[in-house]
């Protein structure tokens, strides 16, 4: 179990994960602005434990993906991706016990050319 917290501490979550197996960045229009390094779990393995009322939801384009951030400090905490809303992507930078600068093998998700945008 890992603990996630935004910068100000208003929002906290517990993630049922030990090793971060999938580590990625994404080049879509929102992720390139956030610049976060992310990992992903099933929704049932991600529980907000504090500050659910402080979370702000941001949606754009197809409005399927749900991008959440703390309304106090502005930090991106997690999202439900469009490709699979049953999963929760989260900000590895919000894990105190993980140094995102030490991570190797960071995959680049090609969100810029999203498969659901292809005709
Ligand atoms: Zn915060």
pLDDT (tens digit per residue) in 68-82: 999 999 999 999 999
What is the whole-number distance in angstroms between the Cα of residue 55 and the centre of ligand 1?
Answer: 8
Distance 63 CA to ligand 1 centre (A): 24
- The confidence score (pLDDT) of residue 117 equals 79
Q: Quick one: average pLDDT of 6-23?
A: 95
Which protein residues have a CB closer than 5 Å to ligand 1 (ion)?
Answer: 6, 8, 10, 70, 72-73
pTM of model > 0.95: no
Does the structure show a pLDDT above 70 at 5?
yes
| Sequence spans of domains, the chain | 2-117
Topology classification of domain 2-117: 2.170.150
User: What's the pLDDT tens digit per position in 17-28?
Assistant: 988 988 999 999
Which candidate, 94, 110, 101, places its Cα nearest to that of 26? 110
Lowest mean pLDDT among 4-8, 53-57, 94-98: 94-98
pLDDT, residue 15, reads 97
Give the C-alpha separation, 101 to 41, whole Å. Answer: 21
50 Cα–ligand 1 center, Å: 11
Q: What is the rounded distance in angstroms from the CA atom of residue 24 to the CA atom of residue 30?
A: 14
**How far apart are the CA of 69 and the centre of ligand 1, in A?**
8
- CB-based contacts of 40: which residues, under 8 Å, 6+ apart? 22, 24, 81, 87, 88, 89, 90
Distance CA 76, CA 25 (A): 13
Tell me the C-alpha distance between 7 and 99, whole Å.
15
How far is CA 104 from each of CA 20, 56, 74, 96, rounded to the nearest angstrom? 11, 31, 27, 18
Give the three-class secondary structure for 93. Answer: helix
């Amino acid at each position: 179990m890992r603990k996630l917290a935004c910068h100000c501490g208003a929002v906290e979550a517990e993630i049922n994960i030990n090793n971060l197996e999938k580590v990625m960045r994404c080049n879509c229009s929102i992720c390139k602005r956030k610049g976060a390094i992310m990992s992903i779990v099933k929704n049932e393995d991600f529980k907000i434990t504090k500050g659910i009322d402080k979370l702000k939801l941001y949606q754009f384009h197809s409005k399927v993906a749900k991008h959440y951030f703390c309304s106090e400090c502005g930090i991106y905490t997690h999202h439900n991706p469009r490709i699979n809303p049953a999963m929760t992507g989260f900000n590895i930078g919000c894990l105190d016990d993980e140094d995102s600068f030490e991570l190797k093998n960071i995959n680049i998700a090609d969100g810029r050319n999203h498969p659901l945008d292809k005709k």
